[in-house]
Structure 1
Amino acid sequence: MKASSRVEQPVWIRTLIGWHVVFYALLVVVAIAAATSSDLGSGKKLAYLVLLAVVALAYWFVAMPAMVSRNVVLSNVYRLLMIACIAGAIAIYTQSVFVLFIVSPQIWLLSRRTVDAIVLTLVLLTAVGTAQLWAAGWTTDAFWSILPWMLISLVVSSVMGIWIDRVIAQSQQRADLIEELESTRDELAAAHHSAGVMAERERMAREIHDTLAQGMTSIVMLAQTASAELSRAQTGSTELSRGGADAVAGRLSAIEDTARENLAEARALVAAFTPVALSEATLTEVLRRQAERFAAETGVDVQVSLDMPDEEVAGLPQGQQVVLLRAAQEALANVRKHAGATTVLITLTMSADGVGISVSDDGTGFEPSAAGSGYGLAAMRGRVEESGGSVQVESAPGRGTRIQVLIPSTSQENS
C-alpha cells in the first residue's frame, strides 16, 4: 500500500467507522457463542474470553491509532499480537474460525506494501491452520482436511486484500483530484474577483477623471482667472471698479455652477454610473451646454454639429450616449490643457458602421506616437473599446488635432 498522503487521513476517518463496528460485533458474537457452548469447560471459556479481550483492547489502543497515523511500529505490534491471540482462540474454540473474515482485511489495512500484507496473511493462515490441527489431535486426516481450506482462505484473503488496496489507492487519487480541483476553483475565483476589482477600479478612475477631475480643473482655472482680474481691478485704486466687479462676480458664478455640477456628478457616481446631465437632458443638449460653458471659461469658439436627426440621437442606447459624452469631455479637456486652440468643432454622426463623434481643433497639435503617457487618451480608448468601438487620433505639430470615436450600432453588436 502506498505511503499516506496529506488527504488520506480524512478518507480513512470517513471509512474506518464501519470496520470498527463490524469487528467488535463479530467479537461479541463469537464471545457469546463460546460462553454458551456446552463443549467448553469453564477454564477454556475464561481463556478464550481473555484472548478476545486482549484483541479488543489492542485494536482500540494500538490498531485504530495506527490506521490513522500509518505508524509502522504500532501496525506490526498489533498484527503480531492479533495473529497470536486469534490462533489461540481458534485452538480453544474452532467454530470461531470465521473471524478470519474481519481480521484478514485488517492486515491489509495496516500494510504499506503489498508484499508485507501477503507475508503476514500467510503467517495468519499458517497459525490458524496449526491451531486447528492442534485442536484435532495432530492427525493426518485432519491435516489433509484443513489444508484445502487454508489454501482457499489464502487465495481469497489475498484477492480481497489486493482489491481493498486498489480501492484505497483509487480513493486517495480521487481525494487528491478533488482537492486539486477545489484549489484550482478557489484560485480561479480569486483571480476573477481580483480582475473584477481591478476593472471596477479602472472604470471608477475613468469616471472620476472624465467628470470630477475635469470639473476641478475648470474650477481652478476660473479661480485663477478671477484672482487675476481682481488684482488688475485693484491696481492703483482702493475701490473695485464696476466692470472689474462684474467680471469677478461672473467668474465666481461660474465656479459655483461648476462645483454644483461636480457635486451632482459625485452623487450620480455613488448611485450609478449614468452621468447626471444625461438623466436630465438629451445628448445633443448636454454637448451644446458643455460647448457653451467651455467657450465661456476659455474664450475658445466651440461649435456642435449634428449629421443625424436629433430624435435618433435621443434614441441611442444609454451606454453609447455615456461613451460619446465622455469622449467629448476628454477631448475638450485636452484642448483646454494642451492645444492653445481658438476654435473647436464637435460633430456627431451616424453611418453604416455605427455612431461616432469627432472633436477637431486648430491648436498647436502634437505627434500622436509621442502621446502615450497621458491617462486621458488611454482612459478614452479603454472606455470605447469596452463598447466594441475604436478611437483614431489625427494630429501633427502646428496642424491641430482631430479625435474620432466610432461605436458599432446596437444591431451590429447583437449580430
Structure 2
Amino acid sequence: MRTQVGIVGCGPAGLFLAHLLHRAGIESVILESRSRTEVEGTIRAGVLEHWLVEMMTAMGLGARMLREGHFHTGITLQWNRQRLHLDMEDLTGGRKVTVYAQHEVLKDLIAARLADGGAIHFGVSATAIHAVDTDRPFLTWRADGDGPEQRLDCDYIVGADGFHGPGRQAIPASRRTEYQKVYPFGWLGILARAPLSWPELIYANQGEGFALLSTRSPEIQRMYIQCDPADDITNWPDDRIWAQLEARLSTDDGWVLQRGEIFQKGIIPLRSFVCEPMQHGRLFLAGDAAHIVPPTGAKGLNLAVADAVVLARALEARYRDNRTERLDAYSATCLRRVWKGERFSWSMTTMLHRNPDDSPFEQRIHQAGLDLLRSSRAAATALAENYVGLPFED
C-alpha cells in the first residue's frame, strides 16, 4: 500500500488533518488501535474555540454541532460565594463559547471521512514507524490482532496517536526535550441526569477547592470537583459528591443546584506536558503526542486541531508549489501557540484550585487574580481572548 501522508491516530488532530488534506487534494490513510465504537464512546467534554466552530461550519462538518451544541456569550467565575459573568462576546468583538463534546466531534468527523471514501483502519495493532530520517518512511501494523504484517509507504508520517503511542518514541530520545508538570490534584467528573442549573459554564474556587458546572444537553449535566488524584472513586458515594458540589457552587442569593441521577463518574489526574521539537525528518507530531494541558483552560482539543491546520497548510505548500519552508518551520510555528496555551491553562489551573503545597500568601494571590478580573477590563479581555482562541501566526 502507498499514500502521501500516513496518519497514526484517529483523534481530533488526525481526523481534522485528513479532512484538510482531502480538501487540498492530498491523499492520507489513518491507522487507529481502537475500534470505531471505542473511539466514539470515549466520553470527553469539549469547549470549542470560535475559529474552530467557523472552520467546521465552512468545511461542511458542523451541521449537528450547530443543532445540538450550546452557544454561550460568556462564562461565570465564582469565589467567596459570589459570581462574576465574563461577557466573552463583548470583550472579544463578537466571539462566543461553544460547548460540544469531543466525542461528538469525532463522530461527525469519522462519518464524514468515511462518506468521502477516506481510509481509516480501526483496531490495528503493533503499529511501528520506520525510516523517518530518509525520504522513504513507512508504517507497519497488523490487522485483527494477529493478522499478517502490513506495510504503508508514505511521503510523510504524522504521529497523532496520543501520549502513549509510537509517534513521539520514533524521535530519538537524544533529539527531544520533554517538559512536564504534574499537579497535586485531579478532577472527579460526573455525568448526571438533571435539569440545567445555570445558563453557562461556572468555574469556581470555593470551599475545598475547584468545581466546574457544565452541560451536555438540557437533560444531562457534566460537573467536576477537585480531588486527590490518587483517591479511590469508591470513596465518593453520590451524596458526598452532591454535598461537595453544593458547597463549592453555593451563593448567598438563594440559587439551588439541581440534583439528579449520577450515571457516570471517575477521577482523572492533571498534568502539563510539551515535547520539543514536534518533528524529526519526515515525522511530525500533533495533538497529545506532543503536548498535554490540564482541562481547566479547555485547550486540549483546540491545540490539537491548530497543529493539524498548520501542518495541512505546510503540506499543501509542499505538494502544490514544492516549497518546504512551512514544513521546516512546523515545530517552531506550533510551539509558539502551544506554549501560550500551556501558559493560559496553567494560569487558570493555579488560580482556580487549592494546592495543598501553597502557602496562605499564595492562596491570597490567587484570590487577588480573580478579583482583578472584576475591576480591570484589560485583565478580563486578556482571559477572554485566550479562552475563545488566539489568532493564528503565519
TM-score, normalising length: structure 1: 0.19
TM-score, normalising length: structure 2: 0.20
Structure with the bigger RCO (C-alpha within 8 Å, sep 6+) is 2
> Relative to total residues, which structure has the larger helix share, 1 or 2?
1
> Relative to total residues, which structure has the larger strand share, 1 or 2?
2
Larger Rg: 1
